[in-house]
Amino acid sequence: MSLRWDPERYLAYADERSRPFLDLLGRVAAPEPRVVVDLGCGPGTLTSLLADRWPGAAVTGVDSSDAMIRAACDSPAADRVAFHRGDLRDWLGAAPAGGVDVLVSNATLQWLPEHLDLLPALVRAVAPGGWLAFQVPGNHDEPSHTLRAELAAEPAYAAHTAGVATPHAHDATTYLRALQALGCEVDAWETTYLHVLRGPDPVFTWISGTGARPTLQALPDELRPGFEDELKARLRAAYPDDGDGVVLPFRRIFAVARVAG
């Protein structure tokens, strides 16, 4: 089953989702790149920031979701960014060696279980002296993920949710060593953001746009409302609102590599 992403739900907490991208971009010291590519560009909101920073570059955004690419093509960013629908792995297979000066992937690689094995191809796509920068969530042991997994494994739901896509990431050291082995100069780190979320069931709203979406999509219509109600209740217990918003700790892993020139 192909995933159906919802750009509007994804952007429910756009400010919080943009912070890691900005922190990632802040470590990329490319002065005047000619070709910039965003793999997993989503609705293009953040890709437009690449065009803002490097107005002289040809900026391209690639995403596998029809809905996300439609949203990107309908956005103001489409005047300055070329958006294309495509699988990241297919793009890598067709990319000319050394054709990209800055290659960015923000919160995408975690959906590819084999993404560590893709690092050589990602590095090959970057020009000598160019930059590869990516960020992946590293909070998969938090209740926001474990409660979903526990509920999905219960007998009422397990037959429908078995084998659904789940995000996975490595630690910063693993990425650092893998990229060093490819001859790159590497800066890798992690940050835990404390997002203060407001509104009804805000943690459910957050995860239903990202990590929980494959599970929710896999459930039949007659089971989904009950699953959602129970998951919301468990999340409320795990992330209480003390009257000043719900605090969602969110760990993210970053890697910025300068390709050998």
- Whether the predicted pLDDT of 261 surpasses 90: no
Say which DSSP state 78 is in.
Answer: G
**pTM of the predicted model, to two decimals?**
0.91
209 or 168: whose pLDDT is higher? 168
pLDDT, one tens digit per residue, over 182-212 is: 999 999 999 999 999 999 999 999 998 887 8
pLDDT, one tens digit per residue, over 213-259 is: 889 999 999 999 999 999 999 999 999 998 999 999 999 999 999 99
- Whether the predicted pLDDT of 8 surpasses 60: no
Token output for 72? 């990107």
- Whether the predicted pLDDT of 121 surpasses 60: yes
| CATH class of the domain comprising 7-258 | alpha beta
Burial class (CB within 10 angstroms; exposed 0-12, middle 13-18, buried 19+) of 208: buried
pLDDT at residue 212, as a whole number: 85
Break the chain into its structural domains and give their ranges.
7-258
12 or 125: whose pLDDT is higher? 125
Q: 243 — alpha (psi -120 to 50), left (phi > 0) or beta?
A: left
Q: Answer whether 159's CB lies under 8 Å from 222's CB.
A: no
Query: 50: helix, coil or strand?
Result: helix
pLDDT, one tens digit per residue, over 122-132 is: 999 999 999 99
- Whether the predicted pLDDT of 83 surpasses 50: yes
Q: 52 — alpha (psi -120 to 50), left (phi > 0) or beta?
A: alpha
Q: Please report, for the chain, how many H helices and E strands are present, in that order.
A: 12, 7
Measured CA to CA, the distance from residue 228 to residue 23 in angstroms comes to 33
Query: 41: helix, coil or strand?
Result: coil
